Structure 1
Amino acid sequence: MSIVRQLVESVPLPKMVQIRQRFLSPTVEDINDAVKNAFAVEDSKIMWPTSGEIAVVVGSRGISQINEVAKAVVSDLKARGYRPFVVPGMGSHGGATAEGQKEVLESLGVTEEFVGAPIRSSMEVIQLGDLPNGLPIYMDKYAYEADGIVVINRIKPHTAFRGPYESGIVKMIAIGLGKQKGAESCHKLGFGHMAEHIVQVAEVSMSTGKILAGVAVIENAYDHVAEIQVLPASEILAREPGLLERAKRYMPRILADEFDVLVVDEIGKDISGDGMDPNITGRYATPFATGGPKITRICVRRLTERTHGNANGIGVADTTTKQVFEAIDFEKTYPNALTSTVIEPVKVPMVLANDKLAIQAAIKTSNVLRDEDVRLVHIRTTLGMDVIRVSESLLPVLKQRDDIEILSDAVEWEFDETGALEARLCWQETSTTNQVP
């Protein structure tokens, strides 16, 4: 028996209770109608070209129904007589290659067949100019050569900085549409300057007259589309901050402000740019963003299939499994860090042989006087926060809340003979959140 196993295998695991957390949940029922109506409302404010090709910019985030949103935008543009095509707007994601970025779109359901438009993926860019400090400004070549550009993105708090514009249309124009070179330029001086740089870059990009509008998506706490708004180019800077404030109100969270261990079943780029959303875990890779619960240790069990080996975000975890380590594709993981200049998310945490040992190691190092009293939360992903599991030790606090529903009795953890968590046995079929193996 290894010394590592000897040190952790006797650590007790607390009994777990499944609970439902309730959040605000406005929902768009018909994506196509919502997009069509949003364009109709703003039609007169958009500087439509007389004819030609329109680039529809779609990113790599796991936005709810992003394929349907893209399809609806393409359909609306076709109805106006334009020839739309899709451009990946994802900076250095997808391994910073044209093939990789197209593959990311297709993994999100954004295929040429489904959306009804060709995908033109390239890392070629046009330099539009420079910021006052000398940083160059870029735009995707295909998009620049089109007769107009429509940018689709979700509005939400960023994972590494704070400002009036975080993750949204402005950032997509500055970084996503700038491809790897644009992303590298915006990140060159670090996240301490990001809030000002993305605005300056977006202003230059919009001054070309190429940007027609942004299609802003806000999600509710249940990973469903809550709102879709079209922002004419002339109103993007004025209206996006208000949408960000609304998005913050809809955000899910763990309804416990402080606990000892968080176990996350899956992380991946399709879940969050940081693998698991720091706004939920409270673990940020930079000092320029704050918020979320205070957690002593985080354990990650798996990478999602859709992340294709990109383990960005694993570095903020404390323990993980051999299965995760063996699934990491460093060629897909490192480009994001090299472009953003933030390397903390791609560092490797303590690697244990299996799920059981990884969870026990997190408990053992969480500085709890009695391991059996550990306050532990277990989630599937940071996209699915309605039904989660908590240790019995957290119930006295959570039972006092009227936005919590107890769904099960306290149960033991179940592992197979290899120490792998029998995840499907953990979760009662009461949730619409992502399923995990």
Structure 2
Amino acid sequence: MSIYSSRDKVSALVKDVPLPRMFRVRQVFQSPEIPSAKIRKVLEEKLVLDSGCIRMDGKRIAVAVGSRGICNLPEIVRTVVDYLKDMGASPFIVPSMGSHGGATAEGQKCVLRSLNITEDTMNCPILSSMETVCVGRNEEGREVLVDKNAAEADGIVLIARIKPHTAFRGRYESGMMKMMAIGLAKQKGAERTHNEGVGNLAKNVYLNGKAVIDHCKVLFAVGILENAYDQTAELHVVRAGDIEEREPGLLKKAFEYMPRILAGDCDVLVVDRVGKNISGEGMDPNITGRFILPEYAQGGICAQKVTILDLTEETHGNCHGICNGDVVSQAVFDKADFEAFYINSITSTVLTLAKIPMVMRNHRECIQVCLRSCVGTDRERPKVVRIEDTLHLEKIWLSEAYWEIAKRTDGMVVEGDLAEMEFDEKGDLF
């Protein structure tokens, strides 16, 4: 149902707002990369050298896989599964994504399917359940929950991308500790980790993650670092006993590899798409600067207004975090699965993340509303930045106000001439 169908007066209010000409820029970052063709070979060598595994004849090993869109994820997971089989084990995959997928077993399996993680592609079972068991208590005496299938396995292997978190700062942010504290804990356990608020997340991720190491049969983790182009930069196989010591150093590297918008601050940031496969909050505030609770984390650019034009297919309607935009298109609203992202927001305890921004009927009006509502800007030459999403920042579009800046800025290569924005008959960008 359109919530915009009768707002002709709103359309009339912005229809004459001029749109700036735009040009395309390629951003150049110095980033190492493991080519996709070499992922299996590199990871196999590290598994042999660093996993510490010996023959595991007949043992059932749970492989924890999350919901993020990680480069080369199917190849990484399949390599781990095949390695465990070579060691004589019987591996199975456990969705390890807290409350994602609508907090249902089938929903979480569906999320994995969208990432090409299926029983056929991985050649092993996927045991998806929201049932958890208490495996022990953390150092503050609180119960720690873990997925029942994983807890009852003979061993657990984690596959986790390590990167800065979108809401807090700490020695452990998104990565191996968080997968144990929140991902493997399913909705019920994730809620417990969040229930003291964002200000205590850094502490609770560490305490609950460490408790999982202490009380469960975690064997090792595959820690993934990605470069500024969303490509695999490094792969690390970390034994369970070394996670506490090694993860902070890997997180520091992840900060160094992060991309950024080299053009800097802007009047309007246009984000083509957001989704849970892109970032926990749909778009990464470490890029956009739109932190829901800036007292706990800062970074990124400063944009007066942000508009979101669409959701990714892989997010399955979970638009958790779109409140970080000021204006969204009708398409975003139409695709929203309110149950999925309400569950996610309730679990995180940050209900602000479930708020809906202003909804406009098409892309043109989204941008025009943002431009019209900016203050203290040059109306003739507004600074507009357009990105595909916060994972893919190699190719971006800048407005005419950046033309001379881009030509003299290191790391920015102008790849197109100035041109008018092109819209289809519905008013959406091509």
- How does the TM-score come out when normalised to structure 1? 0.94
**Matched residue SS, 1:266:** coil
Contact 2:139-2:207 at 8 Å conserved across structures: no
- The answer to whether the 8 A contact 2:28-2:394 is kept is yes
CA distance 1:369–1:144, shift in 2 (3 Å)? closer
Range that drifts further, 7-16 or 365-374: 365-374
Amino acid at match of 2:221: G
Equivalent AA in structure 2 for residue 17 of structure 1: F
1:189-228 deviation line (CA, Å, top 9, x unaligned): 1110111111111111111241111100011111111111
- The letter of the residue matching 2:11 is R
Q: Distance in 1 between matches of 2:332 and 2:68?
A: 21
Does residue 334 (structure 1) correspond to residue 379 (structure 2)? The answer is no
**How far is 1:368 from its partner?**
3.8
Amino acid at match of 2:31: S
**Displacement of 1:398:** 2.7
Instruction: Answer yes or no: is 1:284 the counterpart of 2:291.
Output: yes
1:90 to 97, 108, 111: 97
Q: 1:27 to 1:369 in 2, by over 3 A?
A: closer
**Cα offset, 1:51, TM superposition:** 4.5
The separation in 1 between residues aligned to 2:157 and 2:229, in whole angstroms, is 27
Q: How does 1:256-405 map to 2 (within 5 A)?
A: 256-287=263-294, 288-405=296-413
Aligned to 1:106: 113
In structure 1, runs of 5+ residues without a counterpart are: 423-437
Report the equivalent of 1:140.
Answer: 147
| Cα offsets for 1:63-121 (capped at 9, x unmatched) | 11211111010011011110000000000000000000000001100011111110000
Classify the secondary structure of the residue corresponding to 2:310.
strand
Give the Cα–Cα distance (whole angstroms) in 2 for the partners of residues 349 and 281 of structure 1.
Answer: 16
Contact 1:95 1:101 in 2 (8 A): yes
SS at match of 2:26: strand
- Stretch moving more, 184-193 or 248-257: 248-257
**Between Structure 1 and Structure 2, how many residues are aligned?**
421
Cα deviation per residue 1:139-180 (whole Å; 9 max; x = unaligned)? Answer: 110001110000000000000000111000010011101111
SS at match of 2:385: strand
Which of 26, 37, 45 is residue 20 of structure 1 equivalent to?
A: 26
Whether the 8 Å CA contact 1:58–1:88 is kept in 2: the answer is yes
Contact 1:316/1:344 (8 A) holds in 2: no
Which has the larger displacement, 157-166 or 195-204?
195-204
> Letter of the aligned partner of 1:9 in structure 2?
K
| Alignment counterpart, residue 219 of structure 2, candidates 198, 212, 217 | 212
Contact 1:259/1:295, CA 8 A, preserved across alignment: yes
The range that moved more, 84-93 or 364-373, is 364-373
| 1:71 alignment partner AA | R
Give, as a single letter, the amino acid of the residue that structure 2 aligns with 1:34: V
Distance in 2, matches of 1:361 and 1:384, equals: 25
Instruction: Decide which moves more: 360-369 or 193-202.
Output: 360-369
- 1:130 and 2:137 equivalent? yes
What amino acid sits opposite 1:189 in the alignment?
E
Pick aligned residue for 2:260 from 253, 274, 290: 253
TM-superposed CA distance for 1:43, in Å, is: 3.8
Q: Are the counterparts in 2 of residues 35 and 69 from structure 1 also a CA contact under 8 Å?
A: yes
Matched, 1:406 2:414: yes
4+ long deviations beyond 4 Å: 46-51
Please give the alpha-carbon distance, in whole angstroms, between the structure 1 residues aligned to 2:186 and 2:54. Answer: 25
Contact 1:47 1:212 in 2 (8 A): no
1:129, 1:185 → 2: CA distance?
14
Relative to structure 1, the CA distance from residue 135 to residue 399 in structure 2 (aligned partners, 3 Å threshold; closer, same or farther) is farther
The answer to whether structure 1 residue 164 and structure 2 residue 171 are counterparts is yes
Shift of 1:255: 0.5
Q: Give the direction of change, closer, same or farther, for the CA distance of 1:392–1:48 in structure 2 (3 Å limit).
A: farther
* Paired amino acid for 2:15: E
CA contact (8 A) 1:95 1:332 kept: yes
Q: Is the 8 A contact 2:57 2:88 kept in 1?
A: no
Structure 1 contact 356–419 (Cα < 8 Å) conserved: yes
Task: Supply the distance in 1 between the matched residues of 2:287 and 2:262 (Cα, whole angstroms).
Answer: 10
- C-alpha distance in 2, partners of 1:131/1:232? 20
* DSSP 3-state at the match of 2:229: coil
User: Deviations 1:288-339 (Å, cap 9, x if unpaired)?
Assistant: 1110111110001111111111111211100111111111110111111000
The residue that corresponds to 1:429 in the other structure is none
SS in structure 2 at match of 1:253:
coil
Alpha-carbon distance in 2 for matches of 1:34, 1:342: 40
What CA RMSD, in Å, does the superposition of the two structures yield over aligned residues? 1.4
Quick check: 2:31–2:227 contact (8 Å CA) kept in 1?
yes
Q: Give the residue type in structure 1 aligned to 2:224.
A: V
1:240 to 244, 247, 251: 247
Letter in 2 for 1:10: D
CA contact (8 A) 2:34 2:232 kept: yes
Distance 2:8 2:113 in 1: 43
Q: Percent identity?
A: 47
**TM-score (ref. length: structure 2):** 0.95
Q: Deviations over 1:349-403 (max 9, x none)?
A: 0111111011100111121444222100001111110010001102333322221
CA offset at residue 134 of structure 1?
5.4
Looking at structure 2, the residues matched to 101 and 24 of structure 1 have their Cα atoms a distance apart, in angstroms, of 35
CA contact (8 A) 2:56 2:87 kept: no
CA contact 2:56–2:88 (8 Å) conserved in 1: no
